[in-house]
Homo-oligomer: A and B are copies of this chain.
């Protein structure tokens, strides 16, 4: 009964296989049910479908149940900046809280199921659930620290170090979800990786090629196998 297609709408927070990573992690069972009551689950999104678009009214933050999401913003000159990749169990959309409208866009990199958490109702619930309030403060703080780590990466590290660090990040996040930390499929394109890491597609491609020559990686399109984890950690230099 609780084992369904991961994209299924008919899952609640209590049964969701991501509940050890997602918002419920900080809550008691009865509190999870109260959270579950406000969560909205739409039908799965297909690749390139938007969760929200820059300029949309801000109403909710979102959790990834399955698939993966890319967020990006566009500056005045129309230049896009990918600001994050989100995997199952991760929360996104918190940059909209300070504004009445979204200032970034979120799009599915592949078929994805998303939980929508209406922010106003989450705030109300927080007033009576201290652990939810605290957890949400922590979530936002984590977003800040991960952004600051990306700032340090862009500011101080070479192309190889940036790519190695991203691969290790995805690897670690897969491990948290009980997936392989050495074999996985990158849901995003080379262009997305380059945009996120402040590199051109060509540079990203060259780095992948070099890592293959050094027997650090085996790359087949988007399928990645990390052949030498310590080597990659050394290259990441962080």
Please indicate the chain B residues that have their CB under 8 angstroms from the CB of A237 in the complex: 77
Is there contact, CB below 8 Å, between A148 and B83?
Answer: yes
A130 CB-CB contact with B under 8 Å: yes
Inter-chain CA distance A177–B51, complex, in Å, is 38
Q: Could you jot down 9 A-B contacts, CB within 8 Å? A: A77-B237, A81-B151, A95-B144, A97-B137, A97-B141, A103-B145, A123-B134, A151-B151, A154-B155
Is there contact, CB below 8 Å, between A148 and B145?
Answer: no
Beyond A127-B130, A140-B141, A145-B103, whether A152 also contacts B97 by CB under 8 A is no
Overall SS of chain A's interface: helix
Closest chain-B Cβ to A102's Cβ sits at a distance in Å of: 11
A88 CB-CB contact with B under 8 Å: no
Is there contact, CB below 8 Å, between B238 and A142?
Answer: no
- Closest residue to A76 on the B side, CB-wise? B238
Is there contact, CB below 8 Å, between A81 and B238?
Answer: no
A8 CB-CB contact with B under 8 Å: no
Contact of A155 among B130, B144, B197 (CB under 8 A): B197
Chain A residues 90 to 143 lying within 8 A of chain B, measured CB to CB, are 94-99, 103-104, 123, 126-127, 130, 133-134, 136-143
Bitwise, A141-169 to B at CB < 8 A (1) or not (0) is: 11111011011101110000000000000
A2 CB-CB contact with B under 8 Å: no
Is there contact, CB below 8 Å, between B141 and A98?
Answer: yes
Is there contact, CB below 8 Å, between B152 and A81?
Answer: yes
Bitwise, A213-227 to B at CB < 8 A (1) or not (0) is: 000000000000000
Inter-chain CA distance A143–B142, complex, in Å, is 12
Inter-chain CA distance A196–B152, complex, in Å, is 9
Please indicate the chain B residues that have their CB under 8 angstroms from the CB of A144 in the complex: 94-95, 98, 140, 143-144, 147
Please indicate the chain B residues that have their CB under 8 angstroms from the CB of A198 in the complex: 154-156
Is there contact, CB below 8 Å, between A95 and B155?
Answer: no
Please indicate the chain B residues that have their CB under 8 angstroms from the CB of A130 in the complex: 123, 127
